[in-house]
Structure 1
Amino acid sequence: MSSSSLLNIGIQATQANQTALSTIGQNISNVNTEGYSRQRVDLVTRPDLSGVFVQDIERITDRFLTQQVWTDTSSYNQASAYADLSSRLDNLLAADTHSVSTALDDYFGALQSVVDDPTSTANRELVIAQSDALVKRFNNLDANLKSQAETINAQMDGYASQITSLAANIADLNAKISAAAATNRSTNDMRDQRDLLTNRLSEIVGVTVVDQSSDQYSIFIGNGQPLVIGSTGETVVSVLGVDSAQKELALVNRDEIVNINDEIVGGRVGGLIKYRDEALNDARNQLGMIAIGFAESMNEQHHLGINLNNEFGADLFTDMNDDFLQQKRISANGNNQSVLNIARVEIQQTDLLQASEYELVVGDGNKLTLYRSSDGKQVRIDQLTAAADIAAVDQDQFYRDPDGKFLSFAIDGIKVTINTGTDLIKGDRFLIQPVTSGAEDLSLSLHDGRLLALASPVKVSNDIDNQGTGAASVAVTDSKAGAFATAGELSPPIEIVFNDPASSPSGEMTYTVYDMTDPNNPVVLELDPLVGPLSDQAFTSGGGIQLDGFTVTIDNQPRPGDRFSFDFNLDGVSDNRNAFALSDLQQEKLFDHGSYQDLYGSLVEKVGTHTATSVISEQASKAVLDTTTSAQASVSGVNLDEEAAKLVQFQQAYQASAQLIRVSQTIFDSLLQSI
């Protein structure tokens, strides 16, 4: 081997080892740089013992681990976002300062005080005060839930902007990497930066990344919608969804806006959407259902009593079937082709209400399908029982006029009526929210304690000569019945007289109901000509006697000749029978799932269960992410001990290479001297 060849080998070795030392220095200096992948020099021998050269500076990564980190990052951030929001909701519902349960206890406690002494002005005003406090508790809790929804909307706006920005940056790096690779320049740092941006993107939303052989990342979002293709990054925007109060994500693709909200899984956006759909909306619907059921049942019972002015009770709380509120509960989709005149949702039976939203969709052949969001149940409206006319529609019935412009159906305790100026057209959609704003809409309608209808309008009198153990009570069923048509009177006043069993063909106790309009000339009462006079009616202890607008119940065993008189309860200041009835509603099973307290308790329990589950899911996702991240770091991360050892190794190799150059020079000098 000539000295010139030896010199060349030394020079090449020096250069190669210098590059290796520079690469090690780069690794050491970036040990704390986020997203940096360690690099390694690939040294290759030249043929025929002619030295060494640097074939490549390799970026050490594991594609599988990198992809797994993105997947696990997306899963963890979804679980974390959901757990954080669910914990806030759980604390909100359970806190005494916000709890509807606590306010209900205070309200019914005030009612019990007025039951004990209905003549007390202070007790009556306490009921008004606690009613107002309960209304505000519903309103404030609903406002907090709406505030969370508005915060989510703002976050959706921000995340849409971040996704668009990250997509544009990744697309730009795709172009730069391709250009650098084409001119044999190093792309390692740009690839690290691209992976870091992709990781940040996966924190926000779940993505699918395809690593093309041409050094390009293709990134897809939702159900395979392209977000980044080559050097092109698409735009993501937030748009109003079916519910105009909720923001959703959409992809702008060649001037076409494609809503991808229902397809998004993973990342903080996925956590927000899942929380809103599964927890927040459900909580607001259940709260609204409690408020509607509470107002309707309280108003209904209050209507059956009389106040200190001898007048039947007015609405105590909001009339939940106010025309404005009925129209507020339904909205037409902005893309509908039919022209909507007016639409309403009436609360028909509170015990059948569901804490859910619905969507009515017009399909082929004007087939009408109702989708219930809480459980995904589908109902074909046009296959319900047909009603005679629009006013006669009752539960599980529908009516559609021949012109196709009037539609009404009743299901789940609600009655929906839609009037369009044109026929409903395939693709038309209507969002129905029967209970969503119930807590927001609740208000106190009565503000004067004297107007509390705590007394029953019917007074019961036992004849002083009664010999039996019979005890009569009255339950008013209709304050608008003919018996109460004249203010301050029972028309007619009646008397129930028990007859001698011996005079009955059956030998059993019977009674006769008399019209006592003229006490000196009582006549047998006849409510229905088809039924006839109410004389010699079979008596059953505890059985209800149905009269006009009220029901009489006589317990125990009367004796023949016993009499019970019923008249208007004029100036019944100390009467508390309707107050008792109002108070007893606390324990009544007014809903399909129980009482007010039962339903609120189940809401708190459900949210608590979701929260506990989400926290466990967050912890599990974090453990998985930590494991994957550690595995990736073991491959791509910089190990200072390992780099220090390599530093010594290549330093010695560099010194030896320099010595090789000196030896070559010495040989060459010796040759010159020998000539």
Structure 2
Amino acid sequence: MTQSLIQIGSTGLNAAQYGLSVTGNNIANASTTGYSREVVDYSESTGQNFGAGYLGSGVNVVTVQRQYAEYLNQQLNAAVAQGGMLTTYNSSAEQLNDIVSDPTAGITTSLTTLASGLSTVANSPSDTSARAAALGDINSLTTQFNEVTQEFNSVRSDINTELTGAVSQINTLSSQIASLNKQIVTAEASSGQPANQLLDQRDAAVNQLAQLVGATTTDNADGSINVTIGNGQSLVNGQYSYNLTTVASSSNSSELDIAYQVTNSAGVTSTIPISESVLTSGTVGGLFQFRSQTLDPQQRALGNIAVTLATTMNEQNEAGVTLTGAQGSALFDVTQPTVTAATANTGGATITATYGGSTLSSLTGDNYTLTYEGGGNYSLQDTTTGGAPVTVSATADTSGTGSSINVDGLQIAISTDPAVGDSFQIQSDTTEAGSTLSVAITDGSDIAAGSPQATATTGTTNTGTGTITVTSPPAQYYPTGAMMQGTVTATVNATGTLDFAQTTTGDALPDVTVTVNGVATTYSPPTNVPVTAGATYNVGGVTFTMSGTPATGDTFTLTASAAAPSDNTNALQLANLFNETTIGSQTYSGAYSAFVGAIGDAESTSNTASQAQTTLISQVTQAQQSVSGVNLDEEAENMMTYEQMYQANSKVIQAASTIFDAIIGIDT
């Protein structure tokens, strides 16, 4: 019986020592990240029958148990994954917003300055200093477009660097988790007890992985776990991990995507890309979403502004006359779209594309696939957005030698009908348009402030009452490449229609366009052109109207000449472009303000969401720590309890020893 009492006291001392050790370890790790509080799990030892009943034989230490709630850990991992995404998105958006948001500098100021400079030229078209200042303003605006676009590219480069760093960390953590899986399986199989410290380390690694790329775990029967990312892509499978790497994006070689790095049995390593659309969590998700939702589309928006501004200003300057009396030329050099025919094409069509035309204000800056369906109809698919194909129809050229399509700010020229099924890739992405934009003129005198002049006269031998009136100066030059010179004569023939002829040069006469009630009809060659009351006529860029009733044989002469140095009509048109809605329903400045506002909205929205997620993470962490965290007050109470337990069990052993000594004394 005495021996039994000593045994009971000994088990109690052992239990108290376990309790003190575990409590001390809890206190020591109170501030250790990822540590889960531990408690000793006790059970009563099997009793022994002494005839008068079963007497207890002490206490057993069953195990040291982690205080851990799987569902709370999963919630925390999900919360930090979303937090990592939002924080990264917001940080990148703030960086981009800082680049464009200064209202006193950059493109906003340059647009205002150039508009003012062109107005000054319009007020003094012969003033060479005003022209030189305006040229300086054109250079300044171009430089601003270059610099802002380069800043965007710098942000893109930073994203590439961050992705590379994140992938390196992901690989390290994946390998660590797989190694911990192996250690846990071995330790628990040999001891039959949970490997608490290793389990804490694994949970901490999974949490870090969640912050980087989001992570979902599943338990295996042997104590290991599997880790997946995205839509179930495996990262850790038990004791094995898979390496990720970065590869150049197939849609943009300046951007990086993430891929599996796989080595086969022959030692050949290949990569299997993972779509960025499925990696939406953690730092990686934040980088991808910022890039696809803000950086790329907004840089294209900036490029669209650059292209539209340059194209419209080029067209207007080309419609004017320089200070030296020459035809105006382009003010800006703009990189034009490229068209690549599919290698499987069987037809002989040649297709080219340029920015401009009646749909320029709807420029998207996207890439397209154009496929011929037959009958002059084409299927056009936006490959940048991945939208459904739309059917567009080609319009036959007036020359009869080809056709054209004007859509989404593109003028697509087609030499001849392709074979049905032939397709062409149109690379019209304007992402880099701001960086490649340059100034095409070198002297202020090249600003075409004036307009070609045209006068109309009635033949002196006319017998009818018809007269013509020039309603606007030429909008373009005729013949191509030189200012319209000499005269063009319209003669009323016997059928009562007009025949046009170039009378002083050997150049061929261009088409004549007649517009009646808004409907334009082109005549080529320009003979038998009907005389219609209320119609307007355009030949060689000169627009005129006819009134009265002309008689057969009557003639009307159009004479074009160079503008005077004091002519400011085209300079006024150039300056007025800054007030016109050339980009969608917005002016140049309005479109740029909307561009800046969109970036500001992205920064503001992501900031609000990030702050809300930070609050949620704090709440989930508190819930998780209420189970797994160390409470020092509680541990202090446990320490006192185990101290008293140790002392009390020592007394039990002491009492058993005293009884044993007394029994020995009786025997002697």
1:346 Cα offset (Å)? 3.0
Q: Report the equivalent of 2:463.
A: none
C-alpha change, 1:587 and 1:488, in structure 2 (3 Å) is closer
Q: Work out whether residues 309 and 571 of structure 1, in 8 Å CA contact, stay in contact via their aligned partners in 2.
A: no
Q: Report the equivalent of 2:51.
A: none
Deviations for 1:394-429, whole angstroms, at most 9, x for unmatched residues? 227xxxxxxxxxxxxx6652539899xx9999xx99
Q: Report the equivalent of 1:346.
A: 354
Q: Report the equivalent of 1:591.
A: 583
Q: Report the equivalent of 2:257.
A: 248
Query: RMSD over aligned Cα, in angstroms?
Result: 3.9
Say which is worse superposed, 130-139 or 432-441, in terms of deviation: 432-441
Q: Report the equivalent of 1:26.
A: 25
C-alpha change, 1:19 and 1:259, in structure 2 (3 Å) is same
Q: Work out whether residues 347 and 434 of structure 1, in 8 Å CA contact, stay in contact via their aligned partners in 2.
A: no
1:304 Cα offset (Å)? 1.2
Q: Quick one: which amino acid aligns to residue 27 of structure 1?
A: N
Q: Report the equivalent of 1:13.
A: 12
Q: Quick one: which amino acid aligns to residue 610 of structure 2?
A: E
1:121 is aligned to 2:128: yes
Q: Work out whether residues 395 and 411 of structure 1, in 8 Å CA contact, stay in contact via their aligned partners in 2.
A: no
Q: Quick one: which amino acid aligns to residue 599 of structure 1?
A: A
Q: Report the equivalent of 2:661.
A: 669
Please list, as runs of the form range in 1=range in 2, the aligned pairs for 1:484-523 lying within 5 A after superposition: 490-492=485-487
Q: Report the equivalent of 1:310.
A: 325
2:367 to 358, 365, 370: 358
C-alpha change, 1:194 and 1:297, in structure 2 (3 Å) is same
Say which is worse superposed, 30-39 or 306-315, in terms of deviation: 306-315
Q: Quick one: which amino acid aligns to residue 402 of structure 2?
A: A
Q: Quick one: which amino acid aligns to residue 71 of structure 2?
A: F
1:356 Cα offset (Å)? 4.5
1:474 Cα offset (Å)? 2.0
Q: Work out whether residues 393 and 405 of structure 2, in 8 Å CA contact, stay in contact via their aligned partners in 1.
A: no
Cα distance in 2 for partners of 1:202, 1:454 equals 62
Please list, as runs of the form range in 1=range in 2, the aligned pairs for 1:308-457 lying within 5 A after superposition: 308-321=323-336, 326-327=337-338, 345-349=353-357, 351=360, 353-358=362-367, 360=369, 370-374=381-385, 376-379=386-389, 384-385=392-393, 392-395=402-405, 413=410, 415=412, 432-457=427-452
1:279 is aligned to 2:290: no
Cα distance in 2 for partners of 1:193, 1:418 equals 68
Q: Quick one: which amino acid aligns to residue 33 of structure 1?
A: T
SS of residue paired to 2:41: strand
1:42 is aligned to 2:8: no
C-alpha change, 1:362 and 1:306, in structure 2 (3 Å) is closer
1:235 is aligned to 2:243: yes
Q: Number of residue pairs matched?
A: 602
SS of residue paired to 1:61: coil
1:490 Cα offset (Å)? 2.5
Q: Report the equivalent of 2:224.
A: 216
1:227 Cα offset (Å)? 0.3
1:174 is aligned to 2:174: no
Deviations for 1:67-98, whole angstroms, at most 9, x for unmatched residues? 00000000011111111111222232221365
2:539 to 525, 544, 547: 547
Cα distance in 1 for partners of 2:371, 2:173 equals 39
Q: Work out whether residues 449 and 567 of structure 2, in 8 Å CA contact, stay in contact via their aligned partners in 1.
A: yes
C-alpha change, 1:221 and 1:649, in structure 2 (3 Å) is same
1:293 to 308, 316, 327: 308
Cα distance in 1 for partners of 2:415, 2:258 equals 30
1:82 is aligned to 2:119: no
C-alpha change, 1:338 and 1:553, in structure 2 (3 Å) is closer
1:660 is aligned to 2:652: yes
C-alpha change, 1:393 and 1:11, in structure 2 (3 Å) is farther
1:384 Cα offset (Å)? 4.3
Cα distance in 1 for partners of 2:328, 2:568 equals 14
Cα distance in 2 for partners of 1:15, 1:180 equals 23
1:266 Cα offset (Å)? 0.7
C-alpha change, 1:430 and 1:385, in structure 2 (3 Å) is closer
Cα distance in 2 for partners of 1:418, 1:270 equals 45
1:200 Cα offset (Å)? 0.6
Q: Quick one: which amino acid aligns to residue 475 of structure 2?
A: T
1:52 is aligned to 2:44: no
Q: Work out whether residues 40 and 59 of structure 1, in 8 Å CA contact, stay in contact via their aligned partners in 2.
A: yes
SS of residue paired to 1:47: coil
1:292 Cα offset (Å)? 0.9
Say which is worse superposed, 46-55 or 343-352, in terms of deviation: 343-352
1:534 Cα offset (Å)? 8.8
C-alpha change, 1:135 and 1:226, in structure 2 (3 Å) is same
Cα distance in 2 for partners of 1:629, 1:7 equals 46
C-alpha change, 1:621 and 1:653, in structure 2 (3 Å) is same
C-alpha change, 1:580 and 1:638, in structure 2 (3 Å) is same
Cα distance in 1 for partners of 2:75, 2:23 equals 28
Cα distance in 2 for partners of 1:437, 1:269 equals 24
C-alpha change, 1:293 and 1:142, in structure 2 (3 Å) is same
1:472 Cα offset (Å)? 6.0
C-alpha change, 1:140 and 1:176, in structure 2 (3 Å) is same
Cα distance in 2 for partners of 1:595, 1:664 equals 99
Q: Report the equivalent of 1:139.
A: 146
Q: Report the equivalent of 2:171.
A: 164
SS of residue paired to 2:323: coil
Cα distance in 2 for partners of 1:319, 1:108 equals 20
Say which is worse superposed, 82-91 or 167-176, in terms of deviation: 82-91
Q: Quick one: which amino acid aligns to residue 284 of structure 2?
A: V
1:212 Cα offset (Å)? 2.3
Q: Report the equivalent of 1:477.
A: 475
Percent of counterpart pairs with the same letter? 27
Deviations for 1:303-347, whole angstroms, at most 9, x for unmatched residues? 1111122110122110443xxxx34x8799xxx9999x9996532
1:258 is aligned to 2:272: yes
Q: Work out whether residues 174 and 241 of structure 2, in 8 Å CA contact, stay in contact via their aligned partners in 1.
A: yes
Q: Report the equivalent of 1:576.
A: 568
1:167 Cα offset (Å)? 0.2
SS of residue paired to 1:201: helix
1:295 Cα offset (Å)? 1.1
Gaps of 5+ in 1: 397-409, 464-469, 497-504, 506-510, 519-524, 556-563
Q: Work out whether residues 82 and 613 of structure 2, in 8 Å CA contact, stay in contact via their aligned partners in 1.
A: yes
1:613 is aligned to 2:586: no
Cα distance in 2 for partners of 1:361, 1:229 equals 45
Cα distance in 1 for partners of 2:529, 2:431 equals 50
Q: Work out whether residues 236 and 252 of structure 1, in 8 Å CA contact, stay in contact via their aligned partners in 2.
A: yes
1:92 to 99, 102, 113: 99
Deviations for 1:509-546, whole angstroms, at most 9, x for unmatched residues? xx99999979xxxxxx99977654898x64x5xx7442
C-alpha change, 1:78 and 1:417, in structure 2 (3 Å) is farther
Cα distance in 2 for partners of 1:164, 1:424 equals 45
C-alpha change, 1:636 and 1:597, in structure 2 (3 Å) is same
Q: Quick one: which amino acid aligns to residue 291 of structure 1?
A: A
